[in-house]
Amino acid sequence: MTDLESLRGEFIRRFAAQPSFYHAPGRVNLMGDHTDYNAGFVMPAAIQFRTTVAAAPRRDQRLRVHSTNFDETVELSLVGARERRGGQATHWVDYVAGVAQALRDYGVAMHGADLLIHGEVPLGSGLSSSAALEVAVALALSTLAGRQLEPLTLALLCQRAENEYVGNRCGIMDQFASACGRAGHALWIDCRSLDMRLVPLQQHFASVRLVICNTMVRHQLAGGEYNRRREECEQGVRVLAAQMPGIEALRDLTPELLQAHRNELDPLIYRRCRHIVTENARVCDAAVALQAADLDGFGALMRESHQSLRDDYEVSCDELDLMVRLAGQVPGVYGARMTGGGFGGCTVNLVQSSAVPRFSAKVADGYAQATGHRPEIYVCEAVDGAAAVVFQ
C-alpha cells in the first residue's frame, strides 16, 4: 500500500500546497495477448500494484511534475505545441504530456497543476506501468479541470496519448483494465464493441491463486517488434479481405476459414494470423471454463496460449519459456503462460492455493540458478480500476 501520509508530506515540501490523490492499477492478462489490436477478445484483471498521483491546481498554464521513481522534476507548458522529451527512447514525462494533450484535444479546459507521481507497478515488467501512469494522470488532470469522465472515455484518451504522442501503437487492453477493473473479477472485453463482462475470480480463490512471476528481463527489441506484429496482422487482413469481402480484422475469421485460405498467405503471415484466430477462441473458451470452475480446462488453454505466442507469434523469449517450463514441473500448477506484450516481463500461473509456497520456492530457485536473476513472485489480487483516493 502506498503511504499517502508521506506522499502528502513530500508534496507539501515540494509544492507548498495541499494535494488531492488519484490512483490507477496495473494489470495482468489471463488470456488473449496481441488480440486487442485485431478487434478481438482479451481477459485482463486489474492488480494490486498502483500508480498514485498527488495533484494540486496552479494559477498558470504549466505542469510541474515530480516522479518519485526517477527522482526527477520536469516542467511543461500547456500552451503551444509540445515536443516529445524522450527522442527515440520514451521518457516517463512523455506519457504525462501525451495525456495532457489528449485531454485538451477532447475539449477538457485544462489548468496548470503540480503533480507528484509515485508508481508501484514494477517498471518494464509487462504489468502495464505505463497505462497505470497514464490513467492516474488523466483522472487527476480531468478532475482538477472539473470534468468527470467515464472510465472508458479515460481509457480511450490514454490509448490515444500512447498511440499518437508516445508513438506506441498499443491496443486498448491495458488502459481499459486500469480504468475499468473490478475487485475480485477479470474483465472479458470485446475490443471491437468495447463491451465488457465480469468474470468472477474471487469464488475460486479459496482453492487456487493467480501467481505472477517476473523474469526481471526486458529485451530491447520489444517496441519495434510490437509495431511490426501489428503490420504483419494488417498484411494478413489485406490479403484475406481481397478474397473474402467483409473481413475487416482478424477477429472476423474462424480457425477453419483461415485454414481454408492458408495457401494465399506467406507462411510467416499465416502463423501470425493463426495465433490471433486461435487465441480469440481461447479467450472465449477460457471465460466459459472459469464460469464452470473447470480449472483443468483453463490451465490447458493457458499452456496452448503460451505455445502459440512462442511458436506462431514469436513474442516470447528464453526467460519466459524457462519460467513456464519450471512452473510446469511443480505439482499443483494448472497452467502457465507469458502475459502482455512479451520479450521479457512476466508469466501468469494458475496454482493450487496450498501449493503456492512450494511453487514460489521451486520456480525462484530454478530460475535464479539458470539465469543468475532472482525473479520476483507476486500472488495476484484483482482490484478496482482508477479512482480518487479518499484520505483517511
Q: Which residues bind ligand GLA (CB under 6 A)?
A: 29, 33-34, 36-37, 170-171, 173-174, 340-341
Is residue 174 part of the annotated active site? The answer reads yes
CB atoms within 10 A of CB 149: 19
Question: Judged by CB, which is closer to ligand GLA: 27, or 185?
Answer: 27
Closest CA to 101 of 73, 77, 117, 121: 77
Give the shortest CB-111-to-ligand GLA separation in angstroms: 29
| Contact call for residues 302 and 351 (beta carbons, < 8 A) | no
Question: Judged by CB, which is closer to ligand GLA: 64, or 274?
Answer: 274
Give the shortest CB-88-to-ligand GLA separation in angstroms: 19
Which residues, 6 or more positions from 175, have their beta carbon under 8 angstroms from its beta carbon? 131, 134, 135, 154, 155, 156, 158, 159, 162
The one catalytic residue in 33, 94, 114, 174 is 174
Q: Nearest 10 degrees: CA dihedral of 36, 183, 162, 100? A: 150
* DSSP E strand stretches across the chain: 20-29, 41-42, 44-57, 62-67, 72-77, 113-119, 185-190, 196-200, 208-218, 333-339, 344-352, 376-379, 387-389
Relative orientation angle of helices 92-105 and 151-160, to the nearest 10 degrees? 120
Q: Please return the burial class of 63, using the count of CB atoms within 10 Å of its CB with bins 0-12, 13-18 and 19+.
A: buried
Question: Judged by CB, which is closer to ligand GLA: 48, or 163?
Answer: 163
Give the shortest CB-282-to-ligand GLA separation in angstroms: 13
Question: Judged by CB, which is closer to ligand GLA: 29, or 51?
Answer: 29
Give the shortest CB-179-to-ligand GLA separation in angstroms: 13
Within its chain, how far is the Cα of 96 from the centroid?
17
Question: Judged by CB, which is closer to ligand GLA: 299, or 341?
Answer: 341
Give the shortest CB-71-to-ligand GLA separation in angstroms: 26
Instruction: List residues with catalytic annotation.
Output: 174
